[in-house]
Structures are given as C-alpha cells and as structure tokens.
Amino acid sequence: MADATRDEVRSDTRADGDLRPCERLARAFPSYHAGYCEKYPEKMQALFKKQSPGAMMLSCCDSRTDPALLFSCHPGDLFVHRAIAALVPPLDSPAGACIRAATCYAVESLGVRDLIVLGHTACGGISALVKGVADTPLEDWIRVAEPVLARAKSLHPEACAQELGQVCERLAPVYSLKNLETYPWVARGLKEGRLTIHAWLYSLREGELFEYDTRSETYRPIP
Ligand SMILES: [Zn+2]
C-alpha cells in the first residue's frame, strides 16, 4: 500500500520539478489521502480516536534518514522524535526538555515496547561537532555531544577530523542509549521488562543497518 503510494508521489514530484518544494509537497498530499484516508477509512478513523505505536524512534533531522520511509511504516506505526545527530542529552540537561517529554509520553502513556536511537553516517551534526560551530544556533545543541568527541579523541588521539567524525558517528548512538537508561520512565520500563532500548546505525553510502550489541560493544548488521 505505502510502496505504491510513494511510487506515485515520486512520479508526481519528478513531473513537477519546476514547482517550489512546498507546492510539490502540497500536490503530493492527495496521493496520501487516496492511499490511506479513502482506501482504509475504518483504520484511519480508529487512528483518529487513538494511536498505539509499538515503537518510538529517535532519529536525526537529516532528510535522508526519515524513519517512516526507512522502515516502511504506515500511519500510527511509529512515534518519532527527530533532533540533529539523534542525540539524547543527559537527564538534567537544559537541552533535553523536548526529548524528556516525548520519551516519557511514549513510554508512560502510549506504552511503546521499543525505544530506538537511529544514528547515521555522513551526519552533518556530527561533522559540526568535530569541526566546531562556535557562535551559531547549533552550538547550544551540539555541545550535548562533547563527551562523545572527547571519548573519540581519547580512543584515537592521532585521528584526523574525518576519522574522528566516523568514530563519533558510531559512539553517539551509544552515548544516547546510556543517557536514555537514566531517564526514570525508561529505567522503570526496563526494570519491569515492558521496554527495550536499542542503538542503530544507518550507513548512508552502503544502505545498510547495524545494531549496537552491548555485550560485545560492537555494531552488528541487521538482519
Ligand atoms: Zn545527521
């Protein structure tokens, strides 16, 4: 259902290449309406009354890492929070208000069973972390990941900026996972066995997905 809808959307957007992006988006909406609202009215009405997503994903804002697209989701499947570099701040961080609210709602009210941090390679946020972004609006957010950069430098003191970035891309989802574990609602869910948390890494160039294995402390391919 969704695949056919997206094919139609892609076809439409190619044909409308001269339109402003917002106009292309607006023109694509009827495809969604036809593919879901008209085709599955009962399901959409049920979703109007209540959402019951099984999982929450915390992903980067990057346009190439849309969780709903990557994982073939339908409306209501996935509760999503997106932030640059998919960072989850420490519990007491002033930068974490929105993520605290979103994860608490997902775990306590929606009862999601899985929390997944989705990092990715070629991440502009991680690149900014390594290169520095002083005196820009990004600085307040990206400094959340300073411990990640410090860890990368301690592990690879001779690494160049590009290599440090690659190391940080792999460390950042793990850092976020560790921070998530300290959120009280997450800790409760884990302790009671009704929640699992995961760190995934999407490799843009290869189009491959990996999961961090906490026992071996390495990433393993999915599936
Ligand atoms: Zn990114």
Same domain, 46 and 76: no
Same domain, 64 and 96: yes
Q: In angstroms, rounded to a whole number, what is the distance separating the alpha carbons of residues 31 and 13?
A: 11
3-state helix, strand, coil in the chain (%, to 5): 55, 15, 30
Same domain, 84 and 105: yes
CA of 186 to the centre of ligand 1 (A): 24
Same domain, 75 and 156: yes
Same domain, 128 and 192: yes
Total domains in the fold of the chain: 2
CA of 145 to the centre of ligand 1 (A): 13
Segments forming the whole domain that contains residue 34: 1-50
Instruction: Tell me the average pLDDT across 191-215.
Output: 97
Instruction: Tell me the average pLDDT across 5-32.
Output: 76
Same domain, 202 and 139: yes
Same domain, 177 and 72: yes
CA of 43 to the centre of ligand 1 (A): 33
Residue 162 carries which side chain, given as an amino acid letter? Q
Name the H helices within 88-160: 97-104, 124-131, 137-142, 146-155
Same domain, 60 and 45: no
CA of 161 to the centre of ligand 1 (A): 16
CA of 171 to the centre of ligand 1 (A): 13
Chosen domain end from 33, 50, 67: 50
CA of 61 to the centre of ligand 1 (A): 6
Q: Name residues whose C-beta falls within 8 Å of residue 87's C-beta, 6 or more positions apart in sequence.
A: 125, 141, 142, 144, 145, 172, 175, 176
CATH number of the domain enclosing 118: 3.40.1050.10
Same domain, 116 and 77: yes
Q: Calculate the CA 154 to chain-centre distance.
A: 27
Same domain, 137 and 170: yes
With tokens 């976020």, the residue in question is 176
Instruction: Tell me the average pLDDT across 13-22.
Output: 75
- pTM confidence score: 0.91
Task: Tally the residues of the chain.
Answer: 223
Same domain, 134 and 160: yes
Dihedral angle over CA of 9, 15, 16, 21, nearest 10: 50
What does the pLDDT look like over 55-110, one tens digit per residue? 999 999 999 999 999 999 999 999 999 999 999 999 999 999 999 999 999 999 99
